[in-house]
Amino acid sequence: MTRSENLFKEALCYIPGGVNSPVRAYGSVGMTPRFIKKAEGPYVIDEDGNRYIDYIGSWGPMILGHNHPAVLDAVIKTAKDGLSFGAATELEVEMAEYICKNIPSVEMVRMVNSGTEAVMSAIRAARGYTGRNKIIKFAGCYHGHSDAMLVKAGSGVMTAGIPDSAGVPAGCTQDTLTAVYNDIDSVKAIFDEFDGQIAAVIIEAVAANMGVVLPKEGFLKELRELCTQKGAVLIFDEVITGFRLAFGGAQEYFGIQADMVTYGKIIGGGMPVGAYGGKRQIMEMVAPAGPVYQAGTLSGNPVAMAAGLTQLKLLKENPDIYSHMAALGEKLFGGIKDLLEKYERKYPVNHAASLGCVYFTEQEVDNYEKAKTSDTNAFADYFRFMLEHGIHLAPSQFEAIFLNNAHSDETVEETLHVMEEYLKSRA
């Protein structure tokens, strides 16, 4: 048995499903999950010494590549002064100021410890600010695992085919209404039915938890106008897209300003960090400034702030990182499209900047229902081949390929070579 197999056997005795997050269990691809020992740049190395070109990147945080020396140094240096105080620190102020000065729509921001916590808190603030209860989300979008968001969610919920989730009382989801991604009429219908009751609309401006689905031309603009007209808070969940699609995230990439934004992943540099922010009049509802309660023992942890701030500063000071990743995105996803055409596979490839995916279905995918037509067994076969040939992809059709700045023409060419070997072997 390999070390990964042994470790998984042991893990299954002590951790539900053997993992601390469901998608890591490789459930939908029918393999033993690889236990990763270390990582460097574009690579991860598993416990058996196998090296892979990595396209998970910890699900987005490792945008500079794994173990960037400057981020690592900042963590070590800060840790030497103490790991956590449960008191205010200068680093928290620096992080908050940095985000507010660089993201035009964010006038105030609160740090938390995960994307889930960021979304849960943003929704509570929006409800407190508007005095309304209903929330609109989109089928296939994933906004973390807080009760109210586990309705037609993407990511691991979609991967596991869990209709929603056990343990979530109807009372927690009765105010969560689901619209169809890219269908503005489905949003208008909900606003008409629940006129005056909608506190917020939350969306992934590029949906990256049902595979990758891009907003149709004009969709986000219409959503912005509708929320303004109805007095509903527009929340961009930028846990994935934040500081990835551009330094200013989806708001910059699409030129649309949300009322609130949630962050995670990249702003932590690999450490557990989330944040939510937006207009001052909304954020001043949050305790202790206002009546919306939210708290966290490790929120704004200095070591995590040091990692995140170092990463954000490197991204801002080196804008060519974004053009580099965009070019690699064109090379990788364009190359995959060319190969699929060469081997007469009519699978769509969706991508935006450094995010993308191949759908194992023969129709364009612009929403949840179409994403669900994918042949997940065919995906699993592709995943296994790629992994066995040194390419570490997300173990689910309903996740994204994450490029990072440590990838290169060489790693992309190697990936395309393996992809062609796969297509050739299944021709």
Active site residues: 142, 237, 265
Closest CA to 276 of 236, 313, 243, 225: 236
Question: Residue type at 265?
Answer: K
List phi, psi (to 5°) of 256.
-120, 130
Q: CA torsion sign, 160 to 163 to 168 to 174?
A: positive
Establish if 350 lies at the interface with ligand KE4 (CB under 6 A): no
Question: What tokens appear for 243 in the block?
Answer: 């500081």
Of 158-217, which residues contact ligand KE4 (CB under 6 A)? 204, 209
Establish if 18 lies at the interface with ligand KE4 (CB under 6 A): no
Choose, by CB under 6 A, the member of 46, 92, 237, 259 that binds ligand KE4.
Answer: 237
Establish if 61 lies at the interface with ligand KE4 (CB under 6 A): no
Least distance from ligand KE4 to the Cβ atom of residue 427, Å:
31
Q: Any alpha helices (H) in 194-319, and if so which ranges?
A: 219-230, 249-254, 280-283, 302-317
Establish if 54 lies at the interface with ligand KE4 (CB under 6 A): no
Pairing of strands 198-203, 260-263: unpaired
CA 415 to chain centre: 22
Q: CA-CA distance, 53 to 393, in Å (whole number)?
A: 9
Residues β-bridged to residue 274: 112
Stretch that binds ligand KE4, among 140-148, 170-178, 344-352, 418-426 (CB under 6 A): 140-148
Least distance from ligand KE4 to the Cβ atom of residue 22, Å:
7
Residues β-bridged to residue 234: 201
Considering the complex, state which of residue 115 and residue 302 has its C-beta at the smaller distance from ligand KE4.
115
List Cβ neighbours of 206 (8 Å cut-off, separation of 6 or more). 212, 213, 214, 215, 240, 241, 245, 250, 253, 352, 355
Q: CA-CA distance, 119 to 239, in Å (whole number)?
A: 9
Least distance from ligand KE4 to the Cβ atom of residue 401, Å:
12
Least distance from ligand KE4 to the Cβ atom of residue 112, Å:
9
Choose, by CB under 6 A, the member of 42, 115, 277, 335 that binds ligand KE4.
Answer: 115
Least distance from ligand KE4 to the Cβ atom of residue 374, Å:
16
Stretch that binds ligand KE4, among 142-150, 195-203, 371-379, 408-416 (CB under 6 A): 142-150
Q: What angle do CA 152, 238, 23 make, to 5 degrees?
A: 50
Stretch that binds ligand KE4, among 36-44, 62-70, 110-118, 287-295 (CB under 6 A): 110-118
Of 384-423, which residues contact ligand KE4 (CB under 6 A)? 399
Q: Which residues bind ligand KE4 (CB under 6 A)?
A: 21, 23, 59, 114-116, 119, 142-144, 155-156, 204, 209, 237, 239-240, 264, 274, 399
